[in-house]
Amino acid sequence: MFNIDFTFIFFALIAEVLGTIGGFGSSVFFVPISTYYFDFQTVLGLTASFHVASNFSKITLFRKGLDKRLIVQIGIPAVIFVIIGGILTKFVTTGYLKLVLGLFLIFLGLIFLLLPKLKILDSKSNAIIGGVLSGFLAGFVGTGGAVRGMTMASFRLEKSKFIATSAMIDFAVDSSRTVVYFTNGYINKEILLYLPFLLLVAFFGTFLGKKLLKIISQENFMRFTLTLIVIAGVLTLINR
């Protein structure tokens, strides 16, 4: 019988709050934190299962704000490549997966810290490329939301439309990789035991994040968040 580690639940809450405020999504912190508690395959299954339920709730709340054009241009390539990335995890050792994750987090944090005004041009080809990269990374290392968020930001969507469209794409991506991870044997009883707690963490963490945004400037907190992403990447490499 499995025992719930509430220290992990607490850090998952912190990841959700940081992901909400930073705009990168919780997985960019949730995945490296989880690797200290579970093997990498379990982390992938846990993240995907958690995100399916989390994004379903966002779609329900913001369903009138969907941008169908971006769902097609970003979502379809993302779904195709998340399946490819998820399948490849079966043939790559955990050490290499953590290496890729650590390097990706360090690169992501540094590129935004050094180039804070970096923008992606609003074009169909960039939307497709963003979908391919975010989907593959989500399937292969467990987190690709930052790439998708950066891509979608170039289209300057209204806030509710951004949230709804991103959640719909993420829901399709996570549903697809959940099936792949289940087939790979990554979804186990331990994940099902933690899932109800993580659902509460998702809602409460988002709520806290929105409250904190009212008293902390987005710009200042973004720099703090990016620094934490770099640190998370370094720790992931050390923990290989």
Residue 62 confidence (pLDDT): 63
Residue 5 has pLDDT above 80, yes or no: yes
Q: How confident is the model at residue 61 (pLDDT cuts 50, 70, 90)?
A: low
Residue 152 has pLDDT above 70, yes or no: yes
Q: How confident is the model at residue 165 (pLDDT cuts 50, 70, 90)?
A: confident
Q: For the residues 76-91, what does the mean pLDDT come to? A: 93
Percent of the chain whose pLDDT exceeds 70: 91
Residue 155 has pLDDT above 70, yes or no: yes
Q: For the residues 206-211, what does the mean pLDDT come to? A: 78
Q: How far lies 40's CA from each of 33, 34, 44, 140, 239, in Å? A: 11, 8, 6, 11, 11
* Helix, strand or coil, per DSSP, at residue 154: coil
Residue 64 has pLDDT above 90, yes or no: no
Q: How confident is the model at residue 87 (pLDDT cuts 50, 70, 90)?
A: very high
Q: How far apart are CA 136 and CA 150, in angstroms?
A: 15
Mean pLDDT of all residues belonging to the chain: 82
Q: Are 95 and 240 in contact (CB under 8 A)?
A: yes
Record the pTM: 0.79
The set of residues, in sequence order, having a beta carbon less than 8 Å from that of 119 and lying 6+ positions away, is 153, 154
152 φψ region: left (φ > 0), alpha (ψ -120 to 50), beta (else): alpha
Residue 81 confidence (pLDDT): 95
The set of residues, in sequence order, having a beta carbon less than 8 Å from that of 138 and lying 6+ positions away, is 27, 78, 82, 85, 144, 145, 173, 174, 177
DSSP string, 72-90: IIIIHHHHHHHHHHHHHGG
Q: Are 131 and 151 in contact (CB under 8 A)?
A: yes
Residue 159 has pLDDT above 70, yes or no: no
The CB-side HSE value for 179 (13 A sphere, CA atoms) comes to 10
Q: Are 184 and 90 in contact (CB under 8 A)?
A: yes
